[in-house]
């Protein structure tokens, strides 16, 4: 059962349903919702304390046996697949753990973003991507609608490369004396450069246009095409790597199409291609980290 309360925010019960902001006429509803919420939280916390019996020898878990934090192969598992593409159903849910090897630099968060970009491109090739850190959440349940209105409503793709929500922090010191709440960065500097193509992407809470991640410039040029202005197989492989499945999807996207050419598709059939582009050595000799996707110019989180 869901109640609609006149509150300043729409989600996150711990932040929204505070007794100080609840109107007296809605207090009974508040008590009921908080009771249900606390029961749900208790059940989740109890479940995390219970051990789950499993065998690493089974097909689902064999990939997780004998692995170390900084040294393990690529692991990709399709947990949930929305084969019917139902708008009211849950989206695809895929577990991705890129290959780690002490002999190869992993490039921190930028490296992880680039791997996820390739994996999602190989599996679905969706025209838009969203990245959210595990410790972040959105208060606005319509955030997807707002982002898509901006990305799809612009006259030209070049007018809107990405849509990002500013990071807001709770329980911080008043006036942000140490600057770690990024108030100056988002509220003042961000607004100040709005007319200069806007602020740069900064970490989390961002809807990306995949074509921009692949190298589409604001003026519509694509460096991958070179002087000839043509999208050749040789240049695609030199830029994006030797995976035939992934380069096919990249070329399809840059040609103005999206998705996988043989839709409807089965995610399980795309796992092998996804694993190939998530290896440590895949980026060598390509433009990943230099001209394509997140750059490796500096150490990043």
pLDDT block averages, 10 residues each, the chain of length 301: 41 58 65 84 84 65 82 92 78 93 92 96 93 87 92 84 86 84 84 82 91 80 62 87 93 79 73 96 94 78 55
**233-240 and 244-254 are packed helices; what angle lies between their axes, rounded to 10 degrees?**
110
Confidence at residue 262, expressed as pLDDT on a 0 to 100 scale: 55
3-state class (DSSP) for residue 218: coil
Confidence at residue 3, expressed as pLDDT on a 0 to 100 scale: 36
Beta-bridge partner residues of 78: 94
Residues tagged in the binding site annotation: 109, 133
Confidence at residue 228, expressed as pLDDT on a 0 to 100 scale: 54
Residues tagged in the binding site annotation for Mn(2+): 109, 133
Confidence at residue 169, expressed as pLDDT on a 0 to 100 scale: 82
Contact by Cβ (8 Å): 110, 202: no
Q: How far apart are CA 192 and CA 199, in angstroms?
A: 9
Q: What are phi and psi of 191, to 5 degrees?
A: -70, -30
What the block records as the tokens of 214 is 């692949």
What the block records as the tokens of 87 is 């708008």
First-to-last alpha carbon distance for the chain, in angstroms, is 41
Confidence at residue 156, expressed as pLDDT on a 0 to 100 scale: 79
Whole-Å CA distances, 239 to 112, 132, 136, 212, 277: 18, 27, 33, 14, 13
Structure-token match 């059940």, residue found: 43
Q: How far apart are CA 13 and CA 26, in angstroms?
A: 15
Confidence at residue 74, expressed as pLDDT on a 0 to 100 scale: 95
**108-123 and 244-254 are packed helices; what angle lies between their axes, rounded to 10 degrees?**
80
Alpha-carbon dihedral sign for residues 67, 71, 76, 80? positive
The domain ranges of the chain are 80-167+202-276
């Amino acid at each position: 059962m869901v109640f609609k309360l006149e509150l300043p925010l729409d989600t996150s019960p711990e932040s929204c349903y505070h007794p100080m902001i609840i109107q007296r006429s809605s207090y009974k509803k508040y008590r009921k919702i908080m009771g249900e919420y606390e029961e749900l939280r208790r059940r989740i916390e109890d479940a995390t304390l219970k051990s789950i019996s499993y065998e690493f020898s089974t097909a689902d878990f064999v990939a997780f046996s004998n692995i170390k934090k900084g040294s393990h192969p690529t692991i990709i598992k399709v947990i949930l697949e929305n084969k019917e593409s139902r708008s009211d159903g849950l989206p695809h849910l895929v577990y991705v753990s890129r290959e780690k090897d002490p002999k190869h630099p992993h490039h921190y968060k930028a490296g992880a973003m680039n791997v996820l970009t390739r994996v999602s491109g190989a599996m679905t090739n969706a025209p838009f991507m969203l990245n959210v850190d595990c410790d972040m959440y959105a208060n606005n349940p319509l955030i997807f609608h707002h982002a898509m209105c901006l990305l799809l409503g612009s006259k030209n793709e070049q007018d809107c490369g990405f849509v990002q929500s500013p990071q807001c922090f709770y329980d911080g010191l008043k006036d942000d004396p140490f600057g770690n709440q990024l108030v100056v960065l988002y509220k003042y500097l961000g607004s100040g450069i709005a007319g200069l193509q806007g602020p740069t992407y900064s970490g989390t809470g961002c809807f990306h246009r995949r074509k921009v991640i692949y190298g589409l410039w604001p003026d519509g040029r694509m460096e991958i095409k070179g002087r000839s202005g043509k999208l050749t197989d040789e240049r695609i492989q030199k830029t994006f790597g030797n995976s035939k499945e992934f380069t096919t999807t990249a070329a399809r996207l840059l040609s103005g199409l999206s998705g996988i050419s043989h839709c409807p598709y089965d995610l399980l059939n795309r796992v092998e291609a996804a694993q190939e582009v998530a290896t440590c050595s895949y980026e060598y000799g390509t433009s990943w980290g230099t001209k394509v996707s997140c750059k490796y110019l500096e150490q990043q989180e």
